[in-house]
Structure 1
Amino acid sequence: MEGCTHYLAMVLVQLIYGGSDVLIKLSLQDGLNPIVFVVYRHVLAMVLIGPFAYVLERKQRPSFSISAAANIFLLALLGPTIFVNVYCAGLTYTSATVASALSNVIPPLTFLTAVLLGMEKLKIRSARGQAKVAGTIFCIGGSLIFTFWKGGYLLKGVEKTLINVHNAEEYGKIKHVQENWIKGSALLLMSYTAWSAWLILQAAVSKVYPAPLSLTTLMCFFASLQSSFLALFFARNPSSWRLEWNLQLLTIVYFGVLTTALVYYLQAWCISHKGPVFAAMFSPLQAIIVAVFSAIAFAERLHFGSLIGALLIIVGLYCVLWGKRKDTLVAEHGEIEKVTLDDIKVLEISMNDISVVNPVTREET
């Protein structure tokens, strides 16, 4: 069971992201200010996770140096600040379908960057290397088929929607201006590039600051400051900061508790053990989760293309994880061989240094 913990954690992360995708679309339509949303969610997450970080990682937490502060500040800038704000801005100019399709750049971009930086080993002539490349292609292709292939109906959701919201028919389609689709797509690509860089940097920072709870708390703190600074220019209206018992408050609480506090911690923990590519390859699962939720809650229909795309995503994910598992086994085998050879050398040196005394002549041999 211990070997499955990282896999279960990343599946849970995608389940939470699936719910957050639904809430943020509805809340943006309801008038939620993205910058205010980023500030509130990270302040809430910091307040929740901070005490646990202080108590549980007192001995594990390294000293907070200027270098560590700069790295965590950059980490907060790439992920919570740039990604979320630019992503929300992109959604205002294009549709959620385009956003879902463009999100497929995250796994290959992360994979390619990790290979170029030497963080991910790729031996293209080996079976495990070919499995990782093929799996990445399968995930991308499956996500595109899942998004764009609207073939004959195969499954149908519930007859009556379980969740009723105003403009429910607009679910999954943030109001946008047709002429600005290029601008929206460019913003979305910028946000996904920032997220990919965040995954890569997260792996590097986790090595020098191996305290995931404290790292998450500090990242939320810096993200709150950064977005508060942006709010001075783009969210001056006091009414946008007013909280009421509505969908917007539910979204802020959901993101603060689950999508920020819990997910950031789980991702930091998994990346520190498995690397950034491992975390990125689970991203295509989110499209499947959102589609299933939409079929159940909003009575949306699942197409035949959805089933084919989901199957390809699962096969691709399995191929990549199989390849990474083989990498781990090869690395562990190499470490065992290295330790064995070192032990043999030590034993040989020790035997050469041993002096044996002849009991008859009393001379050393």
Structure 2
Amino acid sequence: MGSKKIWASYVAMVVVQFAYGGSNILIKIALNKGLSQLVFIVYRHLIALLLFGPLAYFLERKQRPSLSLPTMIKIFFLSSLGTTIHLNVYYLGLDYTSPTVASSLSNVILGFTFVMALLLRLEKVKIESAKGRAKVCGTLICIGGALVFTFWKGEYLFKGFTRSPLIDIHDESRGSIHGSMHHKENWIKGSLLILTGNIAWSASLILQKLVSDVFPAPLSLNTLICFFASLQSSVLALILDRESTSWRLEWDVQLLTIVYCGVVISALVYYLQTWCISVKGPVFAAMFSPLQLVIVGIFSAIVFAEQLHLGGLIGAILIVAGLYSVLWGKSSDSPLQMKVGKDDKNTLDHQTLEINMANQPLSISTNSSEKLALGFLPLIAAIKLETEMEKHSVVAEEFLTIDCCYSRIMMELGTPSNAFHVEDDGER
């Protein structure tokens, strides 16, 4: 990987965290100015739908699989969890609290996702290994930090960088929900709502993995998610928010927030995250999430005159420490991503290798239904496969992977047919 691409991935993830931090701040200001969260979600996903639709049609026209009814139902529920429920509950919690609270509690998503995957047996933990213990301990620390952050405020450490806020997000004229009379109750209520929204998002990540296996077209998938999100939120808005003025847009911070989240978050951020994950992996992308907390915290202290208290500081430190513990534990989960076939089971890290260095037949077992052919000259192929239990490493001169008839490979290599032997578990 070139140095330019490495530096570009770092810059991209910093831009992503600044974008997420900016969205939390803008949404908080817009909600305080009277923006309906239901209407906001509708407009945001309509903009994203207009962006994703043409791209999905032209770029995935040949690779997009047919859409069956069961898959459509899964995508509908995926949209319900990951957008409609998650965003509505999350934004309601943000309306009760502050952008700093929302950014801090978003770091527990990895812990929630890990617990759900563990319960559904999608994740395996070797408790006897150091990284296995790091996953478990990190998850407990992360969730414990979220509880400390939510239920214990403690003493104020300092009263912000400014005496009076440049932008007031605690308008007492709007009632006790947004005023300061019941600030502690609103803090707990808002934090619990944000945690509930994050749980829904974690569940959607699990479901998204299952949907992606049967519908491997990310642009088309996101187009359908945006369509269902707009439809579901429109129904909720017509039922719960019947004020026609809620749908009226003017040239103010509300319109800016809608356009920003629709274009920057749903389009630019999605592209940058997808590219960074393809280049550096999901663990690399997740490592930058605490940066959002720092960005929003500094901005809120200056612009909103937000006060930092002891409970929030300790809780945030525990959340970030737990997050990095889980990330370290998961850093070696998928070290090799080379595909042999079309399904997830056909990765080389799922193969087993038996080899005898004394020119005996080479035996390879694979779960793939496709042939895995290994040719080598002049001694033995260079293979390095990492399995769940141990690492197999064989050093040699050449490695060749060919998807064709075994006998034809033998003829082209000029190698005796008894030099190695391939077994395919899928056809035995």
TM-score (norm 1): 0.75
Indicate the residue corresponding to 2:363 in structure 1: 345
The structure that is strand-richer by fraction is: 2
Q: Deviations over 1:45-100 (max 9, x none)?
A: 111222222222223322222222212111111111111122333455x4337766
Offset of residue 256 of structure 1 = 0.6
Distance, in Å, in 2 between the alignment partners of 1:275 and 1:73 is: 27
Q: Could you tell me which of 29, 33, 37 is aligned with 1:30?
A: 33
1:95 partnered with 2:162: no
1:81 equivalent to 2:84? Answer yes
Say which is worse superposed, 297-306 or 76-85, in terms of deviation: 297-306
Query: C-alpha separation between the residues in 2 aligned to 1:288 and 1:140?
Result: 19
Q: Deviations over 1:194-236 (max 9, x none)?
A: 1111111112222222222221111111111111111221232
Equivalent residue pairs, number: 348
1:231 pairs, out of 208, 225, 237, with 237
In the alignment, which of 113, 124, 149 is matched to residue 110 of structure 1? 113
**Which residue is 1:361 aligned to?**
none
Gaps of 5+ in 1: 355-365
User: 2-side partners of 1:272 and 1:48: how far apart?
Assistant: 22
Q: Deviations over 1:219-256 (max 9, x none)?
A: 11111111111122123222111110001001101111
Say which structure is richer in helix.
Answer: 1
Contact 2:109/2:199 (8 A) holds in 1: yes
Is residue 192 from structure 1 mapped to residue 198 from structure 2 by the alignment? yes
Determine if contact 1:159/1:299 at 8 Å carries over to the other structure.
Answer: yes
CA separation in 2, counterparts of 1:66 and 1:350?
Answer: 48
Deviation, structure 1 residue 139: 3.8
Please, which runs of 5 or more residues in structure 2 have no aligned partner? Answer: 339-346, 356-360, 365-373, 375-414, 422-428
TM-score, with structure 2 as normaliser:
0.65
Corresponding residue number in structure 1 for 2:45: 42
Distance 2:191 2:350 in 1: 50
The structure, 1 or 2, with the larger RCO (C-alpha pairs under 8 Å, 6+ apart) is 1
Question: Deviations along 1:153-175, whole A, 9 cap, x unmatched?
Answer: 589747897xx43x35669x960
User: Which residue number corresponds to residue 135 of structure 1?
Assistant: 138
1:207 — aligned with what? 213
Question: How many Å apart are 1:24 and its aligned residue?
Answer: 1.3
Shift in alpha-carbon separation, 1:157–1:233, aligned structure 2, 3 A: same
In structure 2, the CA distance between the partners of 1:278 and 1:7, relative to structure 1 (3 Å rule), is: same
Measure the CA separation in 1 of the matches of 2:122 and 2:8.
Answer: 22
Contact 1:110/1:280 (CA < 8 Å) preserved in 2?
Answer: no
| Residue 69 (1) aligns with residue 82 (2) | no
Asked if the contact 2:17–2:292 (Cα under 8 Å) also holds between the matched residues in 1, the reply is yes
Q: Give the letter aligned to residue 329 of structure 2.
A: G
What is the SS of the residue equivalent to 1:82?
Answer: helix
Closer, same or farther: CA 237–311 of 1 in aligned 2, 3 Å? closer
Residue correspondence of structure 1 range 1-365 to structure 2 within 5 A: 12-91=15-94, 94-96=96-98, 103=106, 106-140=109-143, 153=157, 157=161, 164-165=166-167, 167-168=168-169, 175=178, 178=182, 181=186, 187-264=193-270, 284-298=290-304, 300=306, 312-329=318-335, 335=348, 338=351, 340-341=353-354, 344-345=362-363, 350-351=417-418
- What letter corresponds to residue 338 of structure 1 in structure 2? Q
